[in-house]
Amino acid sequence: MAALGRTVRLRLLLRSLLVQGSWNYRTMQGAGLGFALIPALTRLYRDDPEALGEALRSHSGFFNAHPYLSTVALAALARMESERTGAEQVERFKRAIVSPLGSLGDRLVWARWRPLCALLAFLIFLLGAPWWVAVGVFLTSYNAIHIGLRIWGLRLGWREGREVGHALMGSPLRRLPDRLTIPLAVVSGAVVPLMALTLGGAVDVGPLSTIGIALALAVAGYGRPGLANRLAVLGLVVGSLAFVLLGSSLW
Residues 66-105 that bind another protein (CB under 8 A): 102
> Residue 244 interacts with another protein (CB under 8 A)?
yes
235 Cβ neighbours under 8 A, 6+ residues apart? none
Q: Which is nearer to another protein, 141 or 171 (CB)?
A: 141
* Residue from 10, 14, 169, 236 in contact with another protein (CB under 8 A): 236
Q: Which is nearer to another protein, 170 or 204 (CB)?
A: 204
CB 56 within 8 A of CB 34: yes
- Output b/e per residue, 111-134; b: 16+ Cβ within 10 A: ebbeebbbbbbbbbbbeeeeeeeb
> Residue 220 interacts with another protein (CB under 8 A)?
yes
> Residue 191 interacts with another protein (CB under 8 A)?
yes
> Residue 174 interacts with another protein (CB under 8 A)?
no
> Which residues in 23-52 contact another protein (CB under 8 A)?
23-28, 30-32, 34-35, 38, 41-42, 52
> Which residues in 194-213 contact another protein (CB under 8 A)?
194-197, 199-203, 207-208, 210-211, 213
Q: What is the DSSP letter of 68?
A: G
Distant-in-sequence contacts of 18-26, Cβ < 8 A, 24+ apart: 19/67, 19/70, 19/74, 20/67, 26/62
Q: How far is the CB of 141 from another protein (least distance, A)?
A: 11
> Residue 11 interacts with another protein (CB under 8 A)?
no
Q: How far is the CB of 11 from another protein (least distance, A)?
A: 12
The whole-angstrom separation of Cα 135 and Cα 121 is: 7
Query: Three-class SS string for 167-207?
Result: HHHCCHHHHHHHHHHHHHHHHHHHHHHHHHHHHCCCCCCCH
Amino acid at 191: V
* Residue from 134, 145, 149, 173 in contact with another protein (CB under 8 A): 134
Q: What is the dihedral of CA 173, 178, 184, 189, to 10 degrees?
A: 180
* Residue from 22, 155, 165, 171 in contact with another protein (CB under 8 A): 22
Burial class (CB in 10 A: 0-12, 13-18, 19+), 148: exposed
* Residue from 46, 47, 128, 170 in contact with another protein (CB under 8 A): 128
> Residue 60 interacts with another protein (CB under 8 A)?
yes
> Residue 241 interacts with another protein (CB under 8 A)?
yes
* Residue from 112, 150, 153, 168 in contact with another protein (CB under 8 A): 112
